[in-house]
Chain A
């Protein structure tokens, strides 16, 4: 019954040619604003022109569409802090992947944006899981054959998307740059962590040298630089402190090395991984370095993550570190929405509930300077209405709004389910669409 209602609501939504202008009232849900207003047991949200006009109990407002959220839970949409959405279809089918390249360059200039495919099947699937935005990064897998280049320690540039599947769904460009230190960096840089560190350091130094002497360098009246001008150009937003440098590091000592490096060049640092982050939580907090963690991965899977534990998020948050929780690495980018399961497990291991919700939405927005993540006046209307507690794996999104537009929650997974609900012999299945 519920499904029918949702479907009709969506079908109706598609009839409005100018849905952007539609006003919507989400009525009577339990609302986690993730703003100063905190959580409201029963509240309404008024939306116009894709933005939230007002949030509060029993709003005196009318709207073209009213969504009854009674008994439901309303949160900002999930924002994935690290994904390969739109760059990957089938991981083991190389022609469907554009997330990683090899080559002679140090890697920072690589821009995956032209490869972005908003029609990827991963997008509706993760949208139906409650994800409304994602940061998309390229990647180097140091263990892929042929990927090891002594130069490449930067993965490249990144962008942010809305998960509405539209061709204009790129929300922000050059959101951050990503580099590898620690174990992965060592694999990429010729065998030692120290060599990865030296490469990142020298690239940042040359990027500054380039900035200070741009015209002389362009004219060729300068020494031969180690790195290409395209690579150094791509690092300008980082050395200018405009966009963060995301550095992968898990071992506590690698994290401290990254902090020292960032401090020396005055760059905004984000640590990705941080399995042993809890061991240096105070240093991270003091340096105001946020972390993106795989909160459900407690395996001592390498000698760099011997201290991995399920209360990492709780301990880091308690120390004052801003924590974002990524989709679990073991489920890959296809199931990026499972960050909410990881967040739920973090709550089970001591992370305060609201902090957990923030770790999959507003904290991500803060770290990468994106819209979204809160439900307050003026905020973009990226909203999920859940059947129940969003951190429970048995709950699911009943409605998803992106910039105030109701989204379809149909996926290949639901289509296949409906085709084979009662599998039987014969040929008829082929005519069930």
Chain B
């Protein structure tokens, strides 16, 4: 919580265009306009080997659907085929061999997306040798990638799945001004992190405002030791990154000596050309306003402010700048920048028409994001806003998908999207409701009533009882 943290930008569709490798170092890709631009993001460096295939069609019948895109549908059917949402409607016909799910009394939502997680890089059990989330050796470690720390056998992944989480962003911690790259994962068992990587998802860059970087480095007698030191650190780095980007652009344009690759600057240059999304740990309203001006100065976009405890104070600015805020329902007081908490935070941001979402930053919280949203929804209602489950569900589905630049693929129950779906025993905003089934890309990956359809990490086998199960 204290040293963890996260950002967003839209119009990253350009990323998904086919990359064309032109040389070993100066990779370029085709942009929308057909012009060559540099591939600083290096999407192909550790390519996704994610390979979930839907084994049979699934028809969920007669359930209450919260679509994530703003609708609540009663007694509706949902057909999942070939990994996608094939149809939503009434009295849908079951294809041959389909798994039929009786949705009577059940509620169905899109898979939950946690935009702020450290699963795998701060795994359970938490021991000295597994603290792999913060490269606390320099205030700028833009060169590190969170995926290279992920222990895929972290038993917190299957626990999060039992809470309905189908996609999560794993971020570096918040000790540094630039913590490094994040990675977006699908919550499936993987022998390698590549097995879990969300195909085509853009990378994120973790930045951090406020107390953490200045405490960590100020405490060592080095810069930054103040918030103004933090800002000088961001701006100096962006100046360097702008020069680096120009160097490569000049090289591609005019030839000459090939510039040397720099892993850290490559990531920052990837932000500058719009391929990598900024996820910015930032609590205070003042600091969010400053960060948005820095983004203007260097012409990049901030996707999302994370741990945005004071987002409600600047909700109109967030809306104006098209920046999302990821928030907790009620955490506060663990440090001064988390002191001005209001439980109506998410609701106020949402009502100001900014993109608001829940996030966990916790191995416990990630299992109950539906309850966290329920609290935030109730606080919004008490503040006098008309916010219903059909609206609030977007705080844990479509809005985090936007923040991660994957909203064209997942985050809502809409035809053609990935069949990432949760079947709940009832209204997901009740504390008594449980996840019954989870589908990822149409495949049943979790079933509460069938232990054989509940994944377990390697760590769990024989750990409590050589012959028995941990759970």
Residues of A within 8 A of B (CB): 3, 88-93, 121-122, 296-303, 306-307, 309, 328, 330-332, 334-335, 338, 341, 344-345, 347-348, 391-396, 412-414, 416-417, 420-425
Contact = CB atoms under 8 A, between A and B. Distances in A.
A395 B382 CA distance: 10
Given A89-B333, A300-B470, A394-B375, A421 B430 contact: no
Contact of B378 (A297, A394, A412): A394
B341 A413 contact: yes
A423 B331 contact: no
B124 A301 contact: yes
Top 9 A-B pairs, shortest CB-CB distance: A344-B431, A334-B333, A92-B335, A394-B378, A417-B342, A417-B344, A91-B334, A416-B342, A413-B342
B43 to A, nearest CB: 33
Given A330-B364, A332-B334, A302 B125 contact: yes
Q: Looking at chain A's contact residues, is the secondary structure mostly helix, strand, loop, or mixed?
A: loop
B333 A296 contact: no
Given A331-B331, A394-B375, A296 B368 contact: yes
B431 A391 contact: yes
B340 interface: yes
Nearest to A337: B330
Nearest to A129: B330
B471 interface: yes
B122 to A, nearest CB: 10
Contact of A306 (B125, B156, B332): B125
B2 A306 contact: no
B184 to A, nearest CB: 23
13 contacts: A90-B339, A299-B156, A306-B125, A306-B463, A307-B464, A307-B470, A348-B432, A413-B332, A413-B343, A416-B340, A417-B342, A420-B312, A420-B315
B174 to A, nearest CB: 13
Contact of B471 (A309, A422, A423): A309
A330 B335 contact: no
B431 A341 contact: yes
B313 A423 contact: yes
A271 to B, nearest CB: 19
A151 B335 CA distance: 30
Contacts of B314: 423
A335 B382 contact: no
Interface in B426-461: 429-434, 459-460
Interface in B316-354: 316, 330-336, 339-344, 348, 351-352
Contacts of A345: 368, 371, 431
A393 B334 contact: no
B365 interface: yes
Given A300-B470, A301-B363, A392 B430 contact: yes
Main secondary structure of the interface of B (DSSP, over half): loop
Nearest to A297: B364
Nearest to B212: A92
A394 B330 CA distance: 13
Contacts of A341: 371, 431
Contacts of A88: 333
Nearest to A347: B432
Nearest to A424: B316
A237 B159 CA distance: 43
Contact of A423 (B316, B336, B339): B316
Contacts of B460: 300
Nearest to A91: B334
A281 to B, nearest CB: 15
B114 interface: no
Given A306-B125, A393-B429, A417-B383, 9 more contacts: A93-B335, A296-B368, A297-B364, A300-B459, A328-B364, A393-B374, A394-B377, A420-B342, A423-B312
A396 B382 contact: yes
Contacts, number: 140
Interface of B: 1-2, 124-127, 155-156, 159, 211, 312-316, 330-336, 339-344, 348, 351-352, 362-365, 367-368, 371, 374-375, 377-379, 382-384, 429-434, 459-460, 463-464, 470-471
B124 A300 contact: yes
A393 B336 contact: no
B155 A300 contact: yes
The interface centre, meaning the residue of A92, A121, A344, A424 with most chain B CB atoms within 10 A of its CB, is: A92
B211 A92 contact: yes
A421 B385 CA distance: 10
A92 B336 contact: yes
Interface hub of A90, A338, A424 (most chain B Cβ within 10 A): A90
Contacts of B312: 416-417, 420, 423
A301 B316 contact: no
A417 to B, nearest CB: 4
A88 B431 CA distance: 29
Contacts of A417: 312, 342-344, 348, 379, 383
Nearest to A300: B124
A110 to B, nearest CB: 23
A425 B348 CA distance: 15
Contact of B434 (A91, A348, A416, A420): A348
Given A328-B364, A348-B432, A392-B431, A298 B159 contact: yes
A299 B125 CA distance: 8
Given A299-B364, A423-B315, A334 B334 contact: yes
Contacts of A412: 340
A421 B127 CA distance: 43
A421 B316 CA distance: 11
A391 B375 CA distance: 12
A413 to B, nearest CB: 5
A417 B382 CA distance: 10
A7 to B, nearest CB: 13
A344 B377 contact: no
Contacts of A394: 374-375, 377-378, 429-430
Interface centre among B314, B364, B382 (most CB of A within 10 A): B364
Contacts of A420: 312-313, 315, 342, 348
A328 to B, nearest CB: 7
A347 B463 CA distance: 27
Contact of B331 (A335, A414, A424): A335
A214 B365 CA distance: 51
B353 to A, nearest CB: 11
A315 to B, nearest CB: 12
A296 B163 CA distance: 13
Question: Which one of B342, B377, B383, B431 has the highest number of Cβ atoms from chain A below 10 Å of its Cβ?
Answer: B431
A393 B342 contact: no
Contacts of B348: 417, 420-421, 423
B364 A335 contact: no
Contacts of A391: 431
B342 A92 contact: no
A3 B340 CA distance: 22
B336 A90 contact: yes
B4 to A, nearest CB: 12
A331 B336 contact: no
A136 B211 CA distance: 28
Given A393-B374, A416-B340, A90 B333 contact: yes
